[in-house]
Amino acid sequence: MSEAAGDRMLHQGQVLRDDGAPVPGALVAVVSGTAPTPEVGIRCDSEGRFRIALPPGRFRLTAHAPDGALGSTEIEAVGATAAAPVEIRIVLERSP
């Protein structure tokens, strides 16, 4: 196991509409980052929540709702030795 893989921390997040409503079934993906990630895509639960294991570094995540709405965010992920994981929020733009 590489050092980066051993230092991964499980982060939690939620995909929301701009009015604060959760987005069940949204697909979240890491599209870029300072370290490789094995996650291809994560499906949100019925409350728009998801979990993702990330090594320390900076990452851009995107979310795609079943109705086509899109959103993205950048986060600074912390390692397993940190006191607490990063709470991720992705707010979707209005669907076309």
- Beta 70-77 vs 57-64: how paired, if at all? antiparallel
Instruction: Calculate the average pLDDT of the chain.
Output: 86
Does the domain at 3-84 match CATH 3.20.20.70? Answer given as: no
Which pair of tokens denotes residue 77?
């992920």
CA–CA distance, 92 with 89 (Å, rounded to integer): 10
Which pair of tokens denotes residue 80?
């397993």
Alpha helices in the chain (DSSP H): 3-6
In the DSSP assignment, the letter for residue 52 is E
Q: Are 77 and 59 in contact (CB under 8 A)?
A: yes
Each residue's pLDDT tens digit, 34-61: 888 766 789 999 999 999 988 889 999 9
CA–CA distance, 96 with 84 (Å, rounded to integer): 37
In the DSSP assignment, the letter for residue 79 is -
Each residue's pLDDT tens digit, 68-83: 999 999 999 887 666 6
